Each structure stands twice: as structure tokens, then as C-alpha cells.
């Protein structure tokens, strides 16, 4: 099984096969508009601008599972992201990334990766928050917070996972290496 085996829902409700992205490097991200990490949209758009022509696609999946930080409709979220951050990469319908309603793509991503740990001062704060709802958070692959990123190679295989506290320069380095 690889990323190309999954179908996801576009903002307009249509079904999109990830096989449409065959041969591209994918960065799959669960996002939120009211999060302390929301400014990462700027970094993601800069990465997309720099490497889209090299075969990078960033796939944005808004998620409201973490402190209700993506409360709007799909269209409201998209309007915010394009207006505030100028995002041009594909943004899909809002999803669940954990639990019984998690979409199959994220079930696969979390079952086949490990939590990489939090970094820096934000990581210390976030660890305290996450521990309240997931006592074993260090021992499972569930998404812990908004802006967790999964890197998929051109063959559809997972080659990296990046927690939201990781410096975006390190994410960029990994993407550039994959390209």
C-alpha cells in the first residue's frame, strides 16, 4: 500500500485520487487557522513557490480536532488562507486525522510512522497540553497537533514525519533532498 491507493475529498465535495499526484513529492499537512503554528502557512507557501515546478505538491487538510482551532467551513478556511497567506497549494475538505472518523489516508500515515518528539520551548508547552488527552502520546503514531507534516516520495512511500515544533528549515531540507 502507498499514498496513491487513497482518495480524499476536495473542498467542493468531489473525490480526488492521490494517484493523480503520482511521480510528485508530497508534503501532507493537517492545518488549522487559529493555531500558534498557523504562520507556518507562510513557510509552506514559500516552499511551494520554490519547488512546485520541481515536482512538489503540498496537500493541506484542515482539521478541527485540536482545541477547535479550525472552526470555519471549508470555504471560510480557504478564504482565510488565500487572503492572509496567499496559499496556492491544494486545500482539501476538513478532516479528522485521529479516532474512528479519521480519514483512511491519515490512518495509514499514523499507523506507519512514529511520533518524532517535540522541539524547543513550544514543544515543552505542547507536551503538557497533549499529555492531558493522550497519556501515552510518546508511544503511538497519532497526530498530536496541527501542522504535523508527512513527506511522501515520488513512488508514494512515506519517507518522513515532522512534528509542528520542528524548525521549518529542517522540513525544507528534507523536501529538497526528496526532490
Longest pairwise C-alpha distance within the chain: 42
Cα separation, 164 vs 31, whole angstroms: 10
How many CB atoms neighbour CB 68 within 10 A? 9
- Active-site choice (35, 87, 93, 97): 35
5 in Cβ contact with 100 (< 8 Å): no
163 in Cβ contact with 115 (< 8 Å): yes
Could you confirm whether 35 is annotated as catalytic? yes
Distance of CA 143 to the CA centre of its chain: 9
Please give the angle made by the CA atoms of 106, 148 and 10, to the nearest 5 degrees.
Answer: 50
Which amino acids are annotated catalytic? 35
Amino acid at each position: 500500500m502507498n499514498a496513491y491507493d487513497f482518495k480524499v475529498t476536495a473542498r467542493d465535495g468531489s473525490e480526488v485520487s492521490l494517484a493523480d499526484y503520482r511521480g510528485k513529492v508530497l508534503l501532507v499537512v493537517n492545518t488549522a487557522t487559529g493555531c500558534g503554528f498557523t504562520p507556518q502557512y507562510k513557510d509552506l507557501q514559500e516552499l511551494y513557490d520554490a519547488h512546485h515546478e520541481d515536482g512538489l505538491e503540498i496537500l493541506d487538510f484542515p482539521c478541527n480536532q485540536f482545541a477547535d482551532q479550525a472552526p470555519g467551513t471549508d470555504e471560510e478556511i480557504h478564504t482565510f488562507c488565500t487572503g492572509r497567506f496567499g496559499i496556492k497549494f491544494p486545500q482539501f475538505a476538513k478532516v479528522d486525522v485521529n479516532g474512528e472518523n479519521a480519514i483512511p489516508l491519515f490512518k495509514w500515515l499514523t499507523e506507519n510512522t512514529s511520533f518524532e518528539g517535540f522541539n524547543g520551548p513550544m514543544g515543552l508547552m505542547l507536551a503538557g497540553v497533549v499529555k492531558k488527552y493522550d497519556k501515552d502520546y510518546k508511544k503511538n503514531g497519532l497526530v498530536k497537533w496541527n501542522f504535523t507534516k508527512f513527506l511522501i516520495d515520488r513512488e508514494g512511500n512515506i519517507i518522513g514525519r515532522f512534528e509542528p515544533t520542528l524548525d521549518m528549515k529542517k522540513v525544507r531540507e528534507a523536501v529538497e533532498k526528496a526532490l
